[in-house]
Amino acid sequence: MDYVQLGRTGLKVSRLCLGTMNFGPVTTRADAHAIMDQAHAEGINFFDSANVYGWGENRGLTEQIVGEWFALGGGRREKTVLATKLYGDMGSWPNDGKLSALNIRRACDASLKRLQTDYIDVYQMHHVDRATPWDEIWEAMSVLRQQGKILYVGSSNFAGWHIASAQEAARRRNLVGLVSEQSIYNLLERTVELEVLPAAQSYGLGVIPWSPLHGGLLGGVLRKEAAGTMGRSASGRAADGIEQNRPALVLWEKYCEERGEDPADVALAWLLHQPAVTAPIVGPRTKDQLDGALRALTITLDEAALSRLDEIFPGPGGTAPEAYAW
């Protein structure tokens, strides 16, 4: 396993980040623990979660499962760079979500309890809070750092302007500010190349892409469709995505077949070849899916391969404003 520094920090993380979102709703406790053990055995030290995972009435369940695994000991917590998130409503009362100082304090304490740990390595804002001023947010995060409850602060789903606003507010307070941004980023969804990635690189943030397979569309969905094994991709938004992108997906799966590689592995490998990317999030439901994700680490894409993928899945044309003006 290769390790890289998370943004401009001295913190070293694996090139793949283990996403835990399926733990509880899809993956049983026992299987989740086995996946986390396997991740450590393969050198993955970067785990991502969120307080809302488990969803609905089971919000918090995923963090509980991770916490139960930490409690098994054996250096599990010490070997893990733990990232989790806050923002979503954890209850029905007015201050049970968002980024007020009150909720930041309560949400952190609740996550620490569920995770059975006394600190979070990277505490991430799951979404920008347009109603709470940055001075309030940074004051609350500073208190958590002073208390030793968090080490770093990250963002998720921020626009380039949000990153700039957050960093400039942190700079006024002589704070480190954000160290990472977690964005949707894959061959089918490349909007972040316009402004989010340039902002992250300029301010020294590590980029952690989520949904690297775009809900399974980049994982050989046409092959599965033909075999009748599509599963969750057979209906709803995923099915609509297939029809909208079918011509590109045909070329994509043909290209991967010519290379003799699984489409999911090539999609992950493409992200690993993007200079702004620290570690894509892989969210395996089974140990076999984690094995497949690890294969991406061994795939090399030369300039010809990257150019071909740009032809199949054209991005926005580069960074802004050059991509649409001059």
β-sheet bridge partners, residue 125 = 86, 155
53 is catalytic: yes
- Kindly state the tokens that stand for 89: 């409503």
Tell me, what DSSP letter sits at residue 278?
S
- Kindly state the tokens that stand for 234: 């057979």
Q: Which amino acid is at 16?
A: L
In the block, tokens 């909007």 appear at 191
Residues 6+ apart with CB under 8 A from 117: 67, 70, 77, 82
The pairing of strands 178-184 and 12-14 is unpaired
Q: Are 31 and 38 in contact (CB under 8 A)?
A: no
Radius of gyration of the chain from its Cα atoms, rounded to whole angstroms: 20
Closest CA to 66 of 12, 3, 103, 113: 113
- Of the residues 3, 53, 152, 324, only one is catalytic, namely 53
Catalytic residue numbers, as ranges: 53
